[in-house]
Amino acid sequence: MSEQKKLLVIALGGNALLDSKSKGTIEEREAAAETTAEQLVPLFQSSEYDVILTHGNGPQVGNLLIQQEEGSAKVPPMPLDVCVAETQGEIGYVLQKALQNAFDKHGLKKQTLALLTEVLVDENDPAFEKLSKPVGPYYTLEQTREILKTKKWVFKEDPAGKGYRRVVASPKPKSVVQTSIIRDLTNKGYIVISVGGGGIPVYHNEKGEIAGVEAVIDKDLASAQLAIDLKADLLVILTNVEQCYINFKKPNEIKLRDLNLDEATTYFEQGHFTAGSMGPKVQAVIEFVQSTGNKAIITHIEKLTEALEERAGTIIHQ
């Protein structure tokens, strides 16, 4: 990282790369990535930041799991860590291509690289006993009952009333295995796409070897861990709303524009942010601010430029 630039880790949601209402065709994925790339161009035109991008994979890995189940009679299904690796490569390719085309279109002499990234977890994490991470599409109650006749999946109802989704283990990230490589590439001026889908979940087995584990890591927590490992100056988590709220979509709804660490922690502990959506984002920025003393932002991608100038989004600080 150059001395005059600040290091920014920016987390894209899986829905920024595949709309939840889409069928999931490659044309839809590429169109979404192109839109996202264009929205990020002003950030890359600025000389203020070195940028690392991360992204989710909830819709994509869910779709892949469906394909695996449907084709299991003909092709052996892969475990979750391999599915995360597959979607990391798929999304990384689509996003890398879209970004490079946007750079060329706007005359930006930049290059981007999607890096297959492993994230270390604890194999004894209680998350393996208490499944919580939603993946894949929404189902009706009737559809879940039909699925459970043939599959040993676990479903949970969406807090917003959208239906039911499959849930899988989501252990807490301990460290990003490729941190030093990401740092070196960023120092050389490359835009690195990393910890896709929360990173490929791995642990050290009894032989001390790296081994995959059946899980999906939350991408916001993994992004925060990467930002902590790199001592980033700023963490930005992009979502589908401009800022955080308490009493969201209720008559007494309150927008949260500026939060110190105590306020953010209090609201989080009081349960104002749902576990399947805003909860992990707030938890991630709390951990980042606690560990580094630096600021974090939660906002919509359309408000990114304003949020970096602290004119939009929710700013969380010491």
User: Of 5, 6, 15, 172, which residue is the catalytic one?
Assistant: 15
User: Of 197, 212, 276, 281, which residue is the catalytic one?
Assistant: 281
User: Of 219, 276, 294, 313, which residue is the catalytic one?
Assistant: 219
Whether 172 is catalytic is no
Whether 109 is catalytic is no
User: Nearest Cα to 99, choosing from 80, 87, 112?
Assistant: 112
Strands 118-120 and 175-176: antiparallel
Whether 219 is catalytic is yes
User: Of 13, 56, 63, 133, which residue is the catalytic one?
Assistant: 133
User: Of 13, 14, 58, 198, which residue is the catalytic one?
Assistant: 14
Whether 156 is catalytic is no
Whether 281 is catalytic is yes
Q: Residue 313 and residue 243: Cα distance in Å, rounded?
A: 4
Question: Which residues form the catalytic set?
Answer: 14-15, 133, 219, 281
